[in-house]
Amino acid sequence: MMKANLDLIRKITHGAVNIVEKDEMIRFSRMTESQLEVYRENADFSLKSKATSGVKLDCMTDSTEIILKGFFEQGSSRYFAYIDVKINGVLLYHQGTENFRNEPDFDLTIPLDGKMNQVTLYFPGLTCAVLKELSFSDNATVLPVQKQCTMICYGDSITQGYDARYSSLAYPNQLADALNAEMYNKAIGGEFFNPALSAAADPIQPDLITVAYGTNDWGNIAPDKFPGNVFRFFENLTANYPGIPIFVILPIWRTNADQTTPIGTFADLHRIIREQCDKFQTITIIDGLRIVPHLDGCFAPDGLHPNDFGFLFMTEGILKESNRFRMQ
């Protein structure tokens, strides 16, 4: 078998802004140093910033098999960790564990037919996958897959991938596949409209940006601070990425959406975000109440996070709700 070196791994990795090899282990980061610094003093958010949300390996190869070895580390409050594998766009393998604390290691052997195939490996979004080995057949050709556009996804736990056991079904990964996009997932479970994060720009220049916050703000942010936080978040974002289309996904339905918080009703939450977004010409609103069925069966038991089934609807709904979403 031919073991891939760091240079090859970097070429076929998508969704990571930094890839580092140390002590024969390769770690992937979706956050820049300045973004990591935003969360340095928050232990929970700092932990979640290490998850491999949106990170995947994508290549064309005539190898007869691929071997992938490594281990999982904590990257959220969830312990399930799975790697999805698509061959020519078809999901064929889903391997991992319900509790990485008991089974931290992964060792995948992916059989192939020796013809040129596109192989896409999706790392888990709620844990951190650390790579120890990626190997192909001797003398195999391995080519990077080029994407048509680049996107950045900001958001809270739903954008990070709670509670998709199939990481390929988290809506940012589905959107990236639908748009053939290089996607960088900046989401942190529990996060709010945080102007400090939007001020920390990426070196990459995206063709589009999605933003999905608000459901945590609704019950945790003081009413007098919330509109200003929303405005400053987008003020920073539009300054860093002038002219770039921004698609704001309003909070999706949740089982307790009929409640009232200090900010107001769920409708008030939507209204305040809309009012602030209307001040920016590059923003398009996507109504979160229209993209996921208002049914318990589309959600995890907490009634807040979509399950794999719900994420299928969410992605379809996002694409339908915005006529300008698909890149030309």
pLDDT for 201 equals 84
Residue 328 domain-assigned (yes or no)? no
Q: Are 306 and 271 in contact (CB under 8 A)?
A: no
Q: Does one domain contain both 30 and 175?
A: no
Domain finish residue from 144, 161, 186: 144
Domain count, the chain: 2
Q: Does one domain contain both 42 and 87?
A: yes
Residue 111 domain-assigned (yes or no)? yes
Residue 327 domain-assigned (yes or no)? no
What contacts 276, CB < 8 A, 6 or more positions away? Answer: 227, 230, 231, 234
Q: Which helix (H) or strand (E) holds 39?
A: none
The CATH number of whichever domain residue 224 belongs to comes to 3.40.50.1110
Q: Which pair of structure tokens corresponds to residue 239?
A: 């300054």
Q: Does one domain contain both 176 and 138?
A: no
Q: Does one domain contain both 109 and 169?
A: no
**Which range of residues forms the domain containing residue 50?**
2-144
Residue 248 domain-assigned (yes or no)? yes
Residue 99 domain-assigned (yes or no)? yes
Residue 326 domain-assigned (yes or no)? no
Q: Does one domain contain both 300 and 220?
A: yes
pLDDT for 113 equals 98
Query: Which of 256, 152, 264 shows the shortest CA–CA distance to 212?
Result: 152
Q: Does one domain contain both 252 and 300?
A: yes
Q: Does one domain contain both 138 and 153?
A: no
The CATH number of whichever domain residue 64 belongs to comes to 2.60.120.260
pLDDT for 326 equals 53
Residue 78 domain-assigned (yes or no)? yes
Q: Does one domain contain both 78 and 131?
A: yes
List per-block mean pLDDT (blocks of 10 residues) for the chain, which spans 328 residues. 97 98 97 97 98 98 98 98 98 98 98 98 98 98 97 98 98 97 98 98 93 98 98 98 97 97 98 98 96 97 98 96 61
Q: Does one domain contain both 233 and 246?
A: yes
Please list, residue by residue across 30-59, b when 16 or more beta carbons sit within 10 angstroms of its beta carbon and e when fewer do. bbbeebbebbeeeeebbbbbbbbbbbbbbb
Q: Does one domain contain both 124 and 210?
A: no
Q: Does one domain contain both 118 and 175?
A: no
Q: Does one domain contain both 119 and 175?
A: no
Domain finish residue from 144, 164, 180: 144
Residue 181 domain-assigned (yes or no)? yes
Q: Are 109 and 65 in contact (CB under 8 A)?
A: yes
pLDDT for 327 equals 46
Domain finish residue from 117, 144, 171: 144
Residue reference for tokens 């098999």: 65
